[in-house]
Structure 1
Amino acid sequence: MIRSISSNWRAWTGVGAACAVAAALLVAVGPDGSGAPRAATASGHRWVTDDAGRALILHGLNTASSAKSDPGGMPWIEEKDVQRESDALGSDFVRFLIQWRNVEPQPGSYDDAYLREVETRVRWYGRRGYRVMLDMHQDIYGPAVKGNGAPAWATEADGLGVTEQEQWELKYVEPGTIRAFDHFWGTRSGGRDLRAHYAAAWAHVASKFADDPAVIGYDLMNEPWGGSVQGPAFEAGPLAALYRRTITAIRAVDRDSWIFVEPEAVSANWGLPSALPRLTDPRGGGDKARIAYAPHLYPLPMDLGGGYTGSTKSQVDSTLDSWREQTEKTARRLGAPVLIGEYGLDMTLPGAGAYVTKVRETADAMGAGTAYWSSDPGSWSPWDKELKPTALVPILDRPGPRAIAGDPIAYDWDVKSRTLTVRWRGAADVLGGTEIYLPVRYFPEGGRVAGGVQQSWDAKSRILTVTSGAGEHTVKVTPAG
């Protein structure tokens, strides 16, 4: 999660050549794509789908930052915490952090005991109807350069150091970090082919979870950083090459799970363009492909502090507009659905609740899923340090469709009128009904359906199922009673 590099942009000037590369990034990517045609949805009507062919609108949390520092790589949660989350938020999705250092502690040697612990936690979510995305997480490359993610044996810093920084993100431009990334990407000669190890590690993970019904897919790398190669040269070069290699390795053991790819974070997170090229799925093209786009969203003006208020609010709104435009443009180029892999804010800041609401409304307008950062108790979380609900809970606990039997057109939640409107084009070859989540805070007795036929209502899961066939449907749901 890169949030506040911008607030210390001037401090980068003392880091030497790495600073020049990073500073040039803003110029390199530029305001490309303005005026590009807008699709009705983020991805030209492509969606993450389930095995029945229904479009999935996934919402949940990241679990969890605590896994980064835990020696065993496990998050703070117990099964009761997953149940609390399900009850309070109605979540149906989790971005679950794993790390290369735990998967492959020694070259070519995989820790299956660690993966069994991951499997245990995946099962907790699966029993509650969640879909799990496994995220190979890194920040500042790995522990050997004062970050997390990569194992020590895969860290080639050539003796260069990394100094701790008040803003932790500034460690990305420390000499040792830059050198470790350069060796990993193969942009500096003399190192080992660490990318081969990385792709093989992913294949090993995928072989363990290919048949797990709860695991929807794999996020190949958290917030990629190019070291001394930045911008389009990095995304279209070393990053795309790693993605192609890893996709091929995963598809050798798992033909069906979704594969999620991220852009270079330090530009795309702020609403700047991505140069990530279209990636081929060995499954085939068109609807056969299962590659999705999972950018993060941390608007640059907020990095300067002050929350979502005053002049910062207008700057953030402009950034959100740019972020949506650039995300949709990249998604169309990739032919991929969109899921916001991370977004969030310290809820003690002024306007934080309005900001999170704005992001969720933006996601709904795009037809994108979301994973809020994160489940760790604290000021960013739905839970405080005593695990009591924070003001974030009623914001995230939002009505909306979960699975749509066809191609979604639009959906909208009007909190004032307590009306949820869902429009879609039905498809005869899609199995199952359209599932809609109705939280108890707005729909204590369930929902009243207009424009469709209610098939079932599950008061425990708060899921209303509506039957549909071919043709266009507009369903409005209001509180029953």
Structure 2
Amino acid sequence: MPRQARGRLPRRLPAAALVALALLLTTAVAVITEHDPGPTRYLTDDRGRALFLHGFNTSGSAKSDPERLPWITEEAVQREYDLMGTNFVRLLLQWQALEPEHGVYDETYLDAVAERVDWYSERGYHVLLDMHQDLYGRFTSPERHSGNGAPEWATHTDGLPVEPQEMWELVYLEPGVVRAFDHFWGTTGEHPELMDGYAAAWAHVAARFAGEPAVIGYDLMNEPFGGSLQGPDFESGPLAELYRRCVARIREADQDTWLFVEGQAVGVNWGTPSALPHLADPREGEPRIVYAPHAYPLPMDLGQPYAGESRETVDTSVELWSASVRTTAERLDAPIVLGEFGLNVSREGATDYVARMLAETEQMAAGRVYWSNDHDGWGPWADEELNPGPLVDVMNRAYPRAVAGDPLEIDHDTDAARLSVRFAVREGVSGPTELYLPETDYPDGFDLSVAAPDGAKDWTFEWDADRRVLFVDTPSGAPGDEYTLTVVPG
């Protein structure tokens, strides 16, 4: 739930809230122990290679920008790659900018979005288009003091109040915001056109970007909130229905792009399981549904740092989140991308926490997108001149961008600057494995060793010094045969 400046929940929750939270967490543990997640699934490219996505949300600034566009420039995209070697961006869209009037789409706005997609495309990025909302939208109050997302024509509060709050998340509980969500989800039965209108807006976006190779997916709704309907009833009911409608409409225009879904943010962000049901994908071939939850561990939301005695508590929360996410992804039959995680990098232990989450996602074989690349204390920049801040060193790490088979293990020893990737040959996969190697870890070059099946020696490699990407081609081997690529400093 971010964030131009992310607020925190009160350090001391009311007793009733603590009891409810304890019940939620107890239920979460019970669900987790009853299910053993199955085999890991991956996003793949058009060559069948498993993709590892590493990048930033771009950006919270779009929420307040008059044109609803992020601050990013083409030069800044290049700067980000030069300093951190990212290959992924979650690019924020605004429904209110896309469809300011019911059924009328702003093509000038989409042109501006397409221009930014081109900036990333020219540098080899994968782009996820995210239909972002917080607090439903800015039109829930006459003062327009809170929120982003829904256009005015889709906002119905029935005159109920929406007062600003010191902690922005609490605006979700304002009567007018709850009523606006209830109308959208059909809980009131009075505005059935809203969910269909939202799905139609996605169909329009899909028609515009179908065939654009850089656009890897669409994030159907940022951090859904059910209004007066919460928990499993919301996720398995109107939220799943919205996703089904969006999937159906998008597939009319775009058969290939991956569709990213999130559970209810409240609880799921902390580590409780989602109740999202399996979602069918009508495309020809294998389904392309991605589970893309966010992670904001509850102890840190309550103000605890990733340091001292609270570090172990945060680690436990992360482990709970990871187990819950795997369980949900198994039910969805979906690969995992961590759609948001982050914090103010001036907080004690902040960079250690980011490194912890990067390591966790590598163990899960999941992509990850940090929130965000703004100049607000959370991002990688020390100032608006894009001088690097402390986050840059953490995000600039060696990682596999694409793996020519089924990844089995990623071992990244940051102290030794050693990256090892073990994978199994899979039929139908072509192209090399790609490894990003930052200059900070490999200032004098690298040494590559390859453990190949039956001692095969027909593997080759190429080094792109400008992009700092190592391409390792492993053409031999039967399905199931294993390769291990290991890179250490030269």
> TM-score, with normalisation over the residues of structure 1?
0.94
Q: 1:304 aligns with which of 278, 302, 305?
A: 302
Structure 1 stretch displaced more, 178-187 or 446-455: 446-455
**What's the secondary structure of 1:349's corresponding residue?**
coil
- Residue of structure 2 equivalent to 1:248: 248
- Structure 1 segments unaligned to the other structure (5+ residues): 14-19
Decide whether aligned partners of structure 1 residues 137 and 9 sit closer, same or farther in structure 2, where only a CA change above 3 A counts.
Answer: farther
Matches within 5 A, 1:384-403: 384-386=382-384, 387-403=386-402
Matches within 5 A, 1:12-411: 27=23, 30-31=27-28, 32-36=30-34, 38-39=36-37, 44-145=39-140, 146-284=146-284, 288-386=286-384, 387-411=386-410
Aligned-pair CA distance for 1:4? 5.1
Structure 1 stretch displaced more, 447-456 or 203-212: 447-456
- Deviation digits for residues 13-37 of structure 1, max 9, x if unmatched? 8xxxxxx9x9857646722423245
Distance in 2 (CA, whole Å) between partners of 1:236 and 1:12 is 28
Aligned-pair CA distance for 1:210? 0.7
Decide whether aligned partners of structure 1 residues 194 and 26 sit closer, same or farther in structure 2, where only a CA change above 3 A counts.
Answer: farther
Equivalent residues, number: 468
- Residue of structure 1 equivalent to 2:429: 430
Distance in 2 (CA, whole Å) between partners of 1:266 and 1:196 is 24
Distance in 1 (CA, whole Å) between partners of 2:414 and 2:248 is 45
* Percent identity of paired positions between Structure 1 and Structure 2: 50
Aligned-pair CA distance for 1:314? 1.5
Aligned-pair CA distance for 1:74? 0.7
CA contact (8 A) 1:292 1:336 kept: yes
Distance in 1 (CA, whole Å) between partners of 2:35 and 2:185 is 34
Aligned-pair CA distance for 1:198? 0.1
> Aligned-residue CA RMSD in angstroms?
1.9
CA contact (8 A) 2:424 2:483 kept: yes
Decide whether aligned partners of structure 1 residues 435 and 184 sit closer, same or farther in structure 2, where only a CA change above 3 A counts.
Answer: same
- Residue of structure 2 equivalent to 1:17: none
Distance in 2 (CA, whole Å) between partners of 1:262 and 1:44 is 20
Distance in 1 (CA, whole Å) between partners of 2:51 and 2:7 is 32
Decide whether aligned partners of structure 1 residues 390 and 85 sit closer, same or farther in structure 2, where only a CA change above 3 A counts.
Answer: same
CA contact (8 A) 2:422 2:482 kept: yes
- Residue of structure 2 equivalent to 1:7: 10
**What's the secondary structure of 1:267's corresponding residue?**
helix
**What's the secondary structure of 1:310's corresponding residue?**
coil
- Structure 2 segments unaligned to the other structure (5+ residues): 141-145, 452-458
Q: 1:459 aligns with which of 455, 461, 465?
A: 465
CA contact (8 A) 1:157 1:177 kept: yes
- Deviation digits for residues 414-455 of structure 1, max 9, x if unmatched? 122221110000124211011111011011243211115342
**What's the secondary structure of 2:109's corresponding residue?**
helix
Aligned-pair CA distance for 1:5? 5.8
- Deviation digits for residues 119-163 of structure 1, max 9, x if unmatched? 000000000000000000000000112310000110010001110
Decide whether aligned partners of structure 1 residues 5 and 389 sit closer, same or farther in structure 2, where only a CA change above 3 A counts.
Answer: closer
